[in-house]
Amino acid sequence: MNDVILLTPPNTAPPVERVWMFVSRDIEGRENVCGSVIGELGTQPLITGNPRMLELFKPVAAEMARQTAGTGRTIHLLSFTGREEIEGWR
Protein backbone atom coordinates (compact mmCIF):
# COMPACT_ATOMS: atom_id res chain seq x y z
CA MET A 1 0.00 0.00 0.00
CA ASN A 2 2.07 2.92 -1.20
CA ASP A 3 -0.87 5.34 -0.97
CA VAL A 4 -0.82 5.49 2.83
CA ILE A 5 0.15 8.87 4.26
CA LEU A 6 1.27 8.50 7.84
CA LEU A 7 0.51 11.29 10.30
CA THR A 8 1.72 10.73 13.85
CA PRO A 9 0.47 13.49 16.12
CA PRO A 10 0.74 12.67 19.83
CA ASN A 11 -2.16 10.80 21.39
CA THR A 12 -3.79 13.25 23.78
CA ALA A 13 -6.98 11.52 24.95
CA PRO A 14 -7.36 8.83 27.61
CA PRO A 15 -8.10 5.24 26.52
CA VAL A 16 -11.34 5.10 24.54
CA GLU A 17 -14.11 3.56 26.65
CA ARG A 18 -17.02 5.32 24.94
CA VAL A 19 -17.61 6.40 21.35
CA TRP A 20 -20.07 9.03 20.16
CA MET A 21 -21.46 9.16 16.64
CA PHE A 22 -23.85 11.55 14.91
CA VAL A 23 -26.30 9.97 12.49
CA SER A 24 -28.90 11.26 10.07
CA ARG A 25 -32.25 9.42 10.27
CA ASP A 26 -34.94 9.59 7.59
CA ILE A 27 -38.69 9.17 8.09
CA GLU A 28 -38.45 5.41 7.39
CA GLY A 29 -35.91 5.05 10.22
CA ARG A 30 -32.92 4.46 7.96
CA GLU A 31 -29.67 5.94 9.23
CA ASN A 32 -26.30 7.02 7.95
CA VAL A 33 -23.23 8.40 9.74
CA CYS A 34 -22.98 12.18 9.44
CA GLY A 35 -19.83 13.67 7.98
CA SER A 36 -18.52 17.17 7.54
CA VAL A 37 -15.61 18.91 5.84
CA ILE A 38 -13.11 19.66 8.60
CA GLY A 39 -10.28 21.95 7.58
CA GLU A 40 -7.49 20.36 5.59
CA LEU A 41 -8.65 16.87 6.59
CA GLY A 42 -11.48 16.95 4.07
CA THR A 43 -14.72 15.09 4.72
CA GLN A 44 -14.63 13.28 8.06
CA PRO A 45 -17.26 11.18 9.85
CA LEU A 46 -18.61 12.77 13.02
CA ILE A 47 -17.39 9.97 15.29
CA THR A 48 -15.15 10.45 18.31
CA GLY A 49 -13.99 8.82 21.50
CA ASN A 50 -12.75 12.16 22.84
CA PRO A 51 -15.22 14.17 24.97
CA ARG A 52 -13.57 17.44 23.89
CA MET A 53 -14.08 16.61 20.22
CA LEU A 54 -17.69 15.70 20.96
CA GLU A 55 -18.30 19.26 22.14
CA LEU A 56 -16.74 20.60 18.92
CA PHE A 57 -18.97 18.34 16.80
CA LYS A 58 -22.24 19.37 18.49
CA PRO A 59 -22.52 22.79 16.75
CA VAL A 60 -21.76 21.08 13.41
CA ALA A 61 -24.57 18.60 14.02
CA ALA A 62 -26.93 21.41 15.02
CA GLU A 63 -26.14 23.23 11.77
CA MET A 64 -26.77 20.03 9.80
CA ALA A 65 -30.16 19.74 11.48
CA ARG A 66 -30.94 23.36 10.64
CA GLN A 67 -29.98 22.90 6.99
CA THR A 68 -31.99 19.69 6.61
CA ALA A 69 -35.10 20.96 8.43
CA GLY A 70 -38.21 20.09 6.45
CA THR A 71 -36.56 17.22 4.54
CA GLY A 72 -37.78 14.47 6.88
CA ARG A 73 -34.26 13.89 8.14
CA THR A 74 -33.24 14.39 11.75
CA ILE A 75 -29.80 14.36 13.36
CA HIS A 76 -29.14 12.18 16.41
CA LEU A 77 -26.22 11.66 18.77
CA LEU A 78 -25.57 8.00 19.62
CA SER A 79 -23.28 6.65 22.34
CA PHE A 80 -21.60 3.27 22.32
CA THR A 81 -19.94 1.83 25.41
CA GLY A 82 -17.94 -1.25 26.09
CA ARG A 83 -14.68 -2.18 24.51
CA GLU A 84 -13.51 -5.25 22.69
CA GLU A 85 -10.10 -5.12 21.07
CA ILE A 86 -10.34 -7.18 17.89
CA GLU A 87 -6.86 -6.98 16.43
CA GLY A 88 -3.58 -5.08 16.77
CA TRP A 89 -0.64 -4.33 14.45
CA ARG A 90 3.03 -3.51 15.05
The yes-or-no verdict on residue 1 having pLDDT over 60 is: no
Query: Contact, 45 vs 57, CB < 8 A?
Result: no
pLDDT above 90 for 6? no
Residue-wise pLDDT tens digits, 14-56: 888 999 999 999 999 999 999 998 777 788 899 999 898 899 9
Alpha carbon distance, N-terminus to C-terminus of the chain = 16
For the chain, the domains span 18-81
Residue 87: its pLDDT value, please?
96
- pTM of the predicted model as reported, rounded to 2 decimal places: 0.81
What are the beta bridge partners of residue 80?
Answer: 19
State residue 2's pLDDT score: 67
